[in-house]
Amino acid sequence: MLNANIVAHMPTAMASIVTQKARNKPYILDPQTHAFQHDIALLQSTASGNQKKLRRSIDTLIRDYGSIVKDAIIDQERPLDPSDLTDDNACKAFCQGVLKFQIDTLSKEAKQSDSQKYYRYLASNTNTPAPSFRPTMVVAPYFYLTSTGLRSWLPININCARNSVTYANDTGLPLAVEIVISRGLLVDEASVNSIVAEYAQVAGIAAFLVWVDDFSEHSASAEELRRFVALIRQLANVAPVVNLYGGYFSTAIQRLGIVPGFAGVTHSLEYGEDRSVIPVGGGVPVAKFYLPSLHKRVNFRDAIRAIRALDGFASKASFHATICDCKECQKVIDDDPESSFDAYGRTKAVSYMNRGRKVTREYPLTETRMHTVSHYMHRKRIEFSQKVTASDIAARLRSTQEQLSNKLQPEVIGHCEIWASVIESLAPS
Amino acid sequence: MTEQLFVSSVYKRLVEHEGIRIGVEVPLLGRSVDLAIMLDDEVISVEFKLKNWRRAISQAKDHRLGADYAYICMPRERISAAVIEAVRKGGIGLLTVDTNEHWPFEVVVGAPRSKDVWPPAKQMVIDHLRRSTGSKLAPRELACA
C-alpha cells in the first residue's frame, strides 16, 4: 500500500521503488481523500515568517483531485463538506480525478525514468513484455465515518463507490472501497449493519480495505475485537476484506480461516499495526524489539527482562529455541547471547538544553534499525505463513503471559489472555 | 526549589571532590539517570525527586539494568514511612541530602545490589562516566551488600 501524499511528495522516488526495488510487486495507492474533511490546519505546514501554507504534496493532490477540492480547501480555506459532493456530476468528476491520479501518476513517472529504455529493449528484443506500472486495484474516494458524521458522510461514500465502479470498469482495473470508521462506530452494531447493508447494494466492489481509527489490537478489549471480527465477517459476505492497519491478531484470524474472505492484513515496517485518522505526530524513535511470543514490539528494557524470564540468555541454542530463530537472529546472536542481543538496542545519546535544563535522548543507530526491521520482517513472514491451530495459539499466548507476569507490566502482556479467549471463542470447534 | 536545582546543588558539591567520576543525565536504555556515580567498577544511580516518589521508584527500578545500586534522593522533609516501605519493597535505596557534611548524601535506606544488571547497559554507563572528568572514589556506604 502506498499513500497518495507520499506519492505526490516524491513521485520519482516512489516510481523508482515500483519499477526497480519492488519490481513486479503489486501495489495499491490509498488516495487519502479523508484528509480533506478534517481541519485544514492538518494539511498545512509553517512556512518562513510563521505563515501557514498548504504542504506541497497536499497541493499536488488537490489539483489532481479536481475543482471541488480546490474550491473548498484552497479558495475557501475550509474542509470539504458533504454538501460539496451531493451533486452527482460533482461527485463523478471528483471520483475520476482521484482514480486518474492513482492510475497515471506512477505510470507517467516510470515512463520518464532511466529504466524505461531497458524495458523497451527487453520488450523489442526478447519475449519480455513491457511492464505496466498501473496499480493492481484502484480505491474509490472515501471519508471517515464516525457516530456523529455517519448520516452525512455514508451517502457520499456510497455515491463515490458507485461512480468509481463505472470509471474503474472503463480502465479495466478492479475497484476497492476503503471503509474508515471510529472505534465508537465499531461497537455500534446497528450502525455497522447499516454501513454493510449500504455497501452491499453497490455492485462491482472487488475488495474492502478496512481501517478502524486508532485501533490497537494489543490494547483493544475482547468486545472490540469480537465486533471487529463481526465487521470483517459481514463485509466478507460481499467482497474480500483487508485490514489496513493490523497485527498478529488479524493474522491469526486470517490464518485460522475464522472468516472466509478475510484476505489479510497490512502494516508498515515495525509501525502501522494501528493508526490514527488524525495524525498524532511522530514522537521520538526509541529502540524496540519485536518479541515473537508476545507478537508485540516492546521497549528494549522490557525485551531484556522478557528474554531473561524466558531463559533466552542461557545460551545461543536457548535463545533460538525460546525467543527467535529467524535469519536475523541467527546472524546477530552469538555464543554470548546476552551481549550480542545489544545489537538490537544500540543507541546514540544526543544532549541539548531545553528551558535551561540538559535533556538527553537516545536515538537508535542506523544499524540497530536495520537489525530490528529485518528481524520484524522475518517474524512477520513466519506469522503470515505458519500453519496454526486456535488451541496452539491460545496455549502459547497464555504460557507467555504466565511466564512474564511478574516481569513486565500488565499493560504490556494483558492482550495475551484477551486474544486467547477471543480466538478460542471464534474458532470453529 | 525545582528538581533541576536539586540535582545541580548536589552535583556542584560532588564536583568539588577531586577526580570523582560522576555524570548527569546519563543515558540508560531509553531512560536518563539524573546522576550516576562510578565506584571502582561499580555503578550507582541516583534519581532525584521532590514529590513524585512513585515515579522515581519506577525509574530507579529501570536503572537497575545498568547500575549495581539504584537510589532515589528526596528532601528529608518529604520522606514518609510510605516512601521508605515502597523503596524497600522496590529493591532500591533512598538518599537524602546532608547539608552539613562535605559528602552531600545521607543514606536513609541502603540499596541492595541489583540482580538485574545487564552487562552491556552497565558498560555503556561506565563508558559514559569515563568520558566525564575525575577518578576519586565515592564513599563505600553507597554500595551496600
Residue A283, domain member (yes or no): no
- Please check whether residue B71 lies inside any domain of the structure: yes
**ipTM exceeds 0.90:** no
Looking at the complex, report in whole angstroms how far the Cα of residue B128 sits from the nearest Cα belonging to chain A.
Answer: 10
CA nearest to B93, candidates B74, B115, B69, B75: B69
Does some domain include residue B140?
no
- Would you state the pLDDT for residue B145? 35
Are residues A186 and A67 part of one domain?
yes
For chain B, what is the mean pLDDT? Answer: 86
In a domain, B72, yes or no: yes
- Our CA-based measurement puts residue A302 at a distance from the nearest CA of chain B, in whole angstroms, of 9
Q: What is the mean pLDDT of chain A?
A: 92
Q: A270 lies in a domain?
A: no
In whole angstroms, how large is the CA radius of gyration of chain A? 24
Of B25, B62, B121, the CB nearest to A360: B25
Average pLDDT rounded to a whole number, residues B63-90: 96
pLDDT class for B136, splitting at 50, 70, 90? very low
Residue A275 placed within a domain: no
Q: How many domains does chain A have?
A: 2
**Same domain as A292, residue A252:** no
Tell me: the pLDDT tens digits for A332-391? 999 999 999 999 999 988 888 877 777 778 899 999 999 999 999 999 999 999 999 999
**A142 located within any domain:** yes
The one-letter code for the residue type at A203 is A
Same domain, A364 and A329: yes
Instruction: Choose the mutation target among A286, A301, A339 for the interface with B, i.e. most B CBs under 10 Å.
Output: A301
The percentage of chain A sitting over the pLDDT mark of 90, rounded to a whole number, equals 78
A315-323 long-range contacts, Cβ below 8 Å, gap at least 24?
Answer: A323/A291, A323/A292, A323/A293
Domain assignment of residue B145, yes or no: no
Decide if B85 is inside a domain.
yes
CB atoms within 10 A of CB A429: 4
A46-55, A124-133, A329-338, A353-362: least confidently modelled range: A124-133
Residue A101's pLDDT is what? Answer: 95
Q: What is the mean pLDDT of residues A22-42?
A: 91
pLDDT score, position B134: 46
* Conformation bin of residue A121: beta by default, left when phi > 0, alpha when psi is -120 to 50: alpha
Is residue B15 a part of any domain in this protein? yes
Of B37, B41, B98, B100, the closest CA to residue B70 belongs to B37
Nearest CB to A339: which of B4, B65, B119? B119
Residue A13 lies in a domain: yes
Q: Say whether both A220 and A321 belong to one domain.
A: no
Domain, as residue range, for A24: 2-265
Verify that A57 and A150 share a domain, yes or no. yes
Pairs across A and B, CB distance < 8 A: 44
Q: Are residues A79 and A207 in the same domain?
A: yes
pLDDT (mean) for A384-412: 96
Region B70-93 average pLDDT: 95
Alpha carbon A387 to chain centroid, angstroms: 24
pTM of this prediction?
Answer: 0.91
Same domain for A293 and A261: no
Chain B neighbours among A 357-386 (CB < 8 Å)?
A: 357-362
Question: Once rounded to an integer, what is the mean pLDDT over residues B4-19?
Answer: 80
Query: Both A201 and A314 in a single domain?
Result: no
More confident residue, A153 or B99: A153
Last residue of a domain, one of A205, A233, A265: A265
Chain B residue nearest residue A357, CA to CA: B4
Count of the separate structural domains present in chain B: 1
Residue A118 located in a structural domain: yes
Between A80-84, A222-226, B132-136, the lowest mean confidence (pLDDT) is in B132-136
Q: Which domain holds residue B88?
A: 3-135
Closest to A20 measured CA to CA, from A131, A135, A100, A101? A131
- Which chain A residue shows the shortest CA-CA distance from B58? A409
Query: Is B56 a member of any domain?
Result: yes
In a domain, B142, yes or no: no
Task: Return left, alpha or beta for B40; rule: phi > 0 is left, psi -120 to 50 is alpha, else beta.
Answer: left
Cβ contacts (< 8 Å) between A338 and chain B: which residues? Answer: 118-120
Q: Does A41 touch chain B (CB under 8 A)?
A: no
Q: What is the pLDDT of residues A408-423, one digit of tens each?
A: 999 999 999 999 999 9
Paired residues of A296 in beta bridges: A291
Whether A100 and chain B come into contact, CB under 8 Å, resolves to: no
For residues A323 and A382, membership in a common domain is answered with yes
pLDDT tens across A218-262, in order?
999 999 999 999 999 999 999 999 999 999 999 999 999 999 999
CATH number at residue B128: 3.40.1350.10
C-alpha cell at A392: 496452539
The pLDDT tens digits for A183-203 are 999 999 999 999 999 999 999
A96 and A192 both lie in a single domain: yes
A123 vs A225 pLDDT, higher one: A225
Q: Which neighbouring-strand residues pair with B93?
A: B71
Residue B37 has pLDDT above 70, yes or no: yes
